[in-house]
Structure 1
């Protein structure tokens, strides 16, 4: 038995990137890594805090997972780390099962991701409909924004629930604890980010200092610095990382192994599967975006194996789920990265910050991090798709809106499951509607063919796919069988599944009972292979001909004497599917 190539070969993109590597590329990679490291710092802390974890959890994830994903990944420029898409799921796991269970669920998702890559399932992720992706992405963005209202408004809420209605009721119940100073810091930080990210680049080449130098610094870092200075110098009554978490330890993460038992793993399988599927979607979408920017093609299966490795190792060192991140990857590419070295440098920069500048992180105000996540949530959602829904068909609209609604109100897992089921049903319906049966009457079957009596010999031409959703086509033929010969032209049938083959066998048995010869003609590759495996062509009374002309000649020769004389009587054609 020959094993798949992906099982025998583990080929990180760094091996290919080192060919022709020189000092100039190394300098560009180091510069890009430094830039991305600075960008990743506030995002890593914000994602961890929003997930119900400590800020160092996000930083440790960005360091360990970021390094492993760059080292073993299938993309040359992708940056891995904690992502906003995981916030809702991670927060729910932590609230319901606790942090030790999150470690187990993350490690389980790592195993699933690695197996997905090992068995070449990287390309299958691309088959998830865009309506499902947009629906849950926008839903996650809404939940992220809603979860940040607590710190954005400075509400004194001991613990915010993970579910939508619980969030709303809790926020409403604690509205009297509104902190105007926190709101001022949040709004000021959000305006700083918006101005820095959107208005400074618009100044263009007329201001070379602004356009060429300052825009390299991310707006989140500027807001983080200004917010910390404002809260510290003005002594504002606003929560900071130090007041809530006691700061960030200036040390390396320690290895910790949680207690594992079968009952816990059984309950965590669905959350782990959700983490794995979402991580696969996020990382491969991010890699495809990066491909378009650097004119390279990533290896999706290798990328999934790298994501699996990172998610299996990282949680045991105090980390959370990680995946490819679009914002940091785009920053990496725009900063001149050309190899995975940039991603590894970004992880080392974060490590250096933890070891050297960890005490400064205690001054960071939580409303500023809430503003950073509000900005991330707004950019994460594809809000224009709601305005464009009119231009799409009803199934697309219903799928997108259903996934969005279920993500926000119920659960991401339920939303993805319902979305995929709805998309599959829509696809089955559309494909079955494209499959049709066309009865041919003389002389329409073949130009120049002799006339025959339609009650003795009938011809059907099938189009599309004969699968479980289109077997009614065969049932219609069974209802209108002639006395002697039935010809089915399959040259336009591109696919035949086991249900279609079984229904064809039913047709063959029906013909055999009535002493009718069934002639199949024009069968192409896949349908022919399925027909042979189902032993359809070996059935008594079934013949195969290369084309319709040969089938007609054989069919007319099988008619009893005098059966094919005279013009064909008018017959009602069976309706097309």
Structure 2
């Protein structure tokens, strides 16, 4: 118990410069969350307060119960696009109850250790996911850079200059925060004609209140919300777990993915109870937090708490923050998120890995659906892996000098993708009276492999050959014993058929 408490304390506080860095990083993230949350609310077809209150609740709750310190979770576009038909056809109250069910599903997924499915996501898919997200973040800034005056371009350029040059003077204050404050002061002081946060949508006034969704709790409601809740839960967990892996790599630390799943569930339930939409981890804001010095839970908590303070107390001032300042910050995030090493690696890495990465990027960017891109990458990785493994396979045939005995030595993995080659290796015209199949250097993985061996032994026996299979390892013997057709092959666990 003492060790657990000490570990939890380290995840919260560092003291000195680390404490200051977490607080300042959280402030930067809070400001950057506002236009994102408003934009996602507009996408979902709900009032801006639904996205803003969700971001407050999710960030605060996940800082307490999440499994990845320093990662930022809030309302996201990935979830917002899923609920558009639900809000349009049934209203915002059904969105709230669907978000509660989403949270329950995510918590159950954590209990069932579905986070372990991340083991099947290859490094190429993660790299493609990161690059695609960087491209999408940049594309999302283009509406703020089209049809605007020169002042906007000048402020974006100035913001980028501050972000990249200010750290040469000092790193005591995050340069994105300096850029936001300086550009806001210039915009207000000079009365520049640029878009502001207030132009994105009306900011809410006051604090959110706890309210239960006003919908009938019956099977009809469940039938309506269940498909949306399942999709939101899956998309939210996928993006959260991938972002957690990316933050792990950036900070050279590990995270508790199971706890993160359950934490995401709890955060979404609380968000819905306070009138918010669903959300998940945000790679853009997480990168802002980490690059600004945020490493611990405190930075995530400050992001949510300071966002609430901005909305409740400083709303009119926040509405005057120029969008070019936030565009500069997000361009910095886009540049920092993109894996630039992946470009020269296209020539150095195996072609299959490069194809998986490029397909993931192409699908995500073309569909703007992160889950589809990751799914495409995972499926392609599986196909390439199966093809690679089935080639690491051979059957060697040896015949005795008198031609009466033939021995087949099987080497490699026999499974659904290699059974065709395995079967064809025995399609020779064997005139030997006795055939020995030595599988001591092979491994049978599935019922397809067992079925292929069944057919081979049965055919040889029909041709009048004596067949002996030997050398099973324990795992192969077990699956053969359970699934082989005993009446045809006479297999017994660990024994040679007669």
User: Normalising by the residue count of structure 2, what TM-score does the alignment of the two structures yield?
Assistant: 0.83
Could you say which residue in structure 1 is the equivalent of 2:287?
A: 327
Determine if contact 2:86/2:95 at 8 Å carries over to the other structure: yes
Could you say which residue in structure 2 is the equivalent of 1:78?
A: 70
Q: Is 1:497 aligned to 2:446, yes or no?
A: yes
Aligned-residue CA RMSD (Å): 3.6
Could you say which residue in structure 1 is the equivalent of 2:151?
A: 184
**Deviation per CA, 1:528-570, whole angstroms, max 9, x where unpaired?**
2211221467754557878xxxx8xx9xxx9xxxxxxxxxxxx
Could you say which residue in structure 2 is the equivalent of 1:394?
A: 351
Q: 1 CA distance for matches of 2:12 and 2:260? A: 27
1:476 is displaced (CA, Å) by 2.2
Aligned residues: 479
SS at match of 2:436: strand
1:461 is displaced (CA, Å) by 1.6
1:114 is displaced (CA, Å) by 2.4
Q: Which runs of 5+ in 1 are unaligned?
A: 1-10, 154-177, 204-209, 442-450, 559-577
Could you say which residue in structure 2 is the equivalent of 1:266?
A: 227
Q: Which moved more, 1:92-101 or 1:521-530?
A: 92-101
Could you say which residue in structure 1 is the equivalent of 2:468?
A: 519
Could you say which residue in structure 2 is the equivalent of 1:307?
A: 264
Could you say which residue in structure 2 is the equivalent of 1:232?
A: 188
Change in 2 beyond 3 A, CA 1:440/1:191: farther
Q: 2 CA distance for matches of 1:380 and 1:513? A: 63
Pick one of 216, 221, 225 that aligns with 2:172: 216
Could you say which residue in structure 2 is the equivalent of 1:407?
A: 364
Determine if contact 1:35/1:216 at 8 Å carries over to the other structure: no
1:392 is displaced (CA, Å) by 2.8
Q: Which moved more, 1:423-432 or 1:125-134?
A: 125-134
**Deviation per CA, 1:413-450, whole angstroms, max 9, x where unpaired?**
44333322222211111111112222234xxxxxxxxx
Change in 2 beyond 3 A, CA 1:380/1:60: farther
Matches within 5 A, 1:42-441: 42-53=31-42, 59-75=52-68, 77-82=69-74, 86-87=76-77, 89-90=78-79, 92-93=81-82, 98=87, 100=92, 103=96, 106-107=99-100, 109-153=102-146, 178-180=147-149, 183-192=150-159, 194-201=160-167, 203=168, 210-211=169-170, 215-255=171-211, 257=213, 259=215, 260=221, 262-263=223-224, 265-266=226-227, 269-270=230-231, 272-287=233-248, 289-290=250-251, 292-293=252-253, 297-317=254-274, 318-323=276-281, 325=283, 326-327=286-287, 330=290, 334=293, 337=296, 340=297, 343-412=300-369, 413-441=371-399
Change in 2 beyond 3 A, CA 1:59/1:545: closer
Change in 2 beyond 3 A, CA 1:25/1:282: closer
Bigger Cα Rg:
1
Change in 2 beyond 3 A, CA 1:42/1:453: farther
SS at match of 2:115: coil
Pick one of 14, 17, 27 that aligns with 1:38: 27
SS at match of 1:255: coil
Change in 2 beyond 3 A, CA 1:80/1:345: same
Q: 1 CA distance for matches of 2:176 and 2:51? A: 16
Q: 2 CA distance for matches of 1:469 and 1:391? A: 28
Determine if contact 2:138/2:330 at 8 Å carries over to the other structure: yes
Q: 1 CA distance for matches of 2:141 and 2:289? A: 24
Q: 2 CA distance for matches of 1:270 and 1:544? A: 44
**Deviation per CA, 1:433-486, whole angstroms, max 9, x where unpaired?**
112222234xxxxxxxxx5433x3211122221100000233124413454322
1:232 is displaced (CA, Å) by 1.9
SS at match of 1:51: helix
1:523 is displaced (CA, Å) by 1.4
**Deviation per CA, 1:298-356, whole angstroms, max 9, x where unpaired?**
32212221122223332442244122654255358x4674xx45644554344344443
Change in 2 beyond 3 A, CA 1:146/1:222: same
Change in 2 beyond 3 A, CA 1:253/1:493: farther
**Deviation per CA, 1:513-532, whole angstroms, max 9, x where unpaired?**
23433222221132122112
Change in 2 beyond 3 A, CA 1:253/1:362: farther
Change in 2 beyond 3 A, CA 1:432/1:104: farther
SS at match of 2:385: helix
Determine if contact 1:14/1:71 at 8 Å carries over to the other structure: no
Could you say which residue in structure 2 is the equivalent of 1:159?
A: none
Determine if contact 1:460/1:488 at 8 Å carries over to the other structure: yes
Q: 1 CA distance for matches of 2:375 and 2:213? A: 32
Change in 2 beyond 3 A, CA 1:184/1:488: farther
Could you say which residue in structure 2 is the equivalent of 1:459?
A: 407
1:244 is displaced (CA, Å) by 4.2
**Deviation per CA, 1:93-137, whole angstroms, max 9, x where unpaired?**
465554837656654543443233211222321321222233233
Determine if contact 1:242/1:361 at 8 Å carries over to the other structure: yes
User: Normalising by the residue count of structure 1, what TM-score does the alignment of the two structures yield?
Assistant: 0.72
Change in 2 beyond 3 A, CA 1:38/1:345: closer
Q: 1 CA distance for matches of 2:64 and 2:456? A: 58
Q: Which runs of 5+ in 2 are unaligned?
A: 216-220
SS at match of 1:79: coil
Determine if contact 2:35/2:200 at 8 Å carries over to the other structure: no
Determine if contact 1:189/1:224 at 8 Å carries over to the other structure: no
